Each structure stands twice: as C-alpha cells, then as structure tokens.
Amino acid sequence: MTVNTQPGSQAQSQNSQPLPADEQASTWLFGYGSLIWKPELPFIRAHPARVDGYVRRFWQGSEDHRGTPESPGRVVTLVPDYQGQCFGVAYLVSNIEIEQTFAQLDHREKNGYTRLTLDLNLGSDAVLTDEKVVAGITYIADEYNEAYLGQAPIAQIAKEIFHSVGPSGTNTEYLLELAQALRDRVIDDPHVFALETEIRTLLNQS
Ligand code: SIN
C-alpha cells in the first residue's frame, strides 16, 4: 500500500482559532462509506464533515469483503469531481491510538485503498460551511488500483451488487446500510439512493 500521510499533528485548524483541547494531540479521519455505519474506531468524538472536489461512487471493486476475486462486489470510493462535494463523518482519534488505528484500517481497506490527506469542512450549519477547516485522513481507491471497476450504468452496478457476496456479507447489505446511514444524517446522495431504489426493486422481484 502506498501511504502518503504521516500521523501526528493532522488536527491542526487551518483557521486562526485556537484548537479545542481534545484536538491538540489528535488526528481527524474521514469516513464516507462503511466507515460511516461501521466505524470500529477508538474515536474521541465524531462530527459531520464535507470534502470538496470529490463525489462518492460505487466504482471500487471488492474482492475481499463484499465479493470474491472471481466475482467482485462494488464498494464506494471518492472520485475527483471539480464541482463535487461528499458529505460523511469525521472521527477524532487520539494520537496515542492512531498508529494502531491505521494498522487496523490499512488491513480493512487493503483491497485498493491508500491514505490521502484532505481538507475537511466541519462547519456548524447544515451545509458545513468552511468556518472550520481541518486536515483529515481518508482512504481512497483511485482508478489505478487493480480492483478498480469504474463507471457503469446504475442498473448494471445494482445487478452486480445484488449478486455479490463476500467474507463480510452481502454487497446488498453494504449498500442498504450506507443508504440508511446517509438518510439518518440527512445527507443527500443521488448516486447511492438511485442504487438503493434499483436494489429494492430487485429484492421485490426475487
Ligand atoms: C470509507 O468508508 O471511508 C472507505 C470506504 C469503505 O470502507 O467503505
């Protein structure tokens, strides 16, 4: 895995305000997929977060969690989009626990993801304005990894998800859990909700 981040002082505010005490020796991690509904992290607190310049897409293959090498499932990654935004959850992790957390996440996300440092908007209103911007680390699977599947029509992606299962469970469960977690947090994501609609149709037909 290529690692382009260093643990440590990631939780520095890029604004001039002093950092709250619990952010002074901590690192922000950004989750936008299973890390929203199944974080399994030793976090101090969680905060809604927005990243700009990316959108969430079911374009990454999953050969180890929600599919197999012979029949990969599909999971989300962040795809660069100049005008795009992705809403998710930022987790504040103590630097005492960050190395172990990275080791666990590196293993969990080993099928094509690498760490990337991004600006996280943690504004206090619904759209998370940039009143508070911090550096945060996320796991992203780019188009050059071997498991990458890329773009396809929504109906085709839904069928692939519907028929995939791996050691962590069905791919359908991953999609429905993510859709519900976004709905619970009042996060709109037309890509995810279009897939959810297709999957529910397939479930009703089966
Ligand atoms: C994430 O949740 O932030 C990464 C992708 C995933 O594990 O689903």
Task: Place 24 in a pLDDT band, splitting at 50, 70 and 90.
Answer: confident
126 Rama sector, left if φ>0, alpha if ψ -120 to 50, beta otherwise: alpha
- What average pLDDT does range 73-89 have in this prediction? 97
> pLDDT value at position 16?
58
The total number of structural domains that make up the chain? 1
Q: Is the pLDDT of residue 15 over 70?
A: no
Task: Place 125 in a pLDDT band, splitting at 50, 70 and 90.
Answer: confident
- What average pLDDT does range 169-196 have in this prediction? 97
Q: Is 139 in the pocket of ligand 1 (CB under 6 A)?
A: yes
3-state secondary structure of 126: coil
Mutational pocket test of ligand 1: of 35, 93, 104, 187, the residue with most ligand atoms within 8 Å of the beta carbon: 35
Q: How far is the CA of 24 from the centre of ligand 1 (A)?
A: 25
Task: Place 12 in a pLDDT band, splitting at 50, 70 and 90.
Answer: very low
CATH number of domain containing 78? 3.10.490.10
Q: Is the pLDDT of residue 2 over 60?
A: no
> pLDDT value at position 120?
96
The residue range of the domain holding 71 is 3-205
Protein residue with least CA distance to atom 5, ligand 1? 33
CA-based angle 119:66:136, to the nearest 5?
10
> pLDDT value at position 3?
41
Q: What is the pTM of this model?
A: 0.91
Q: How many CB atoms lie within 10 A of CB 143?
A: 14
> pLDDT value at position 177?
98
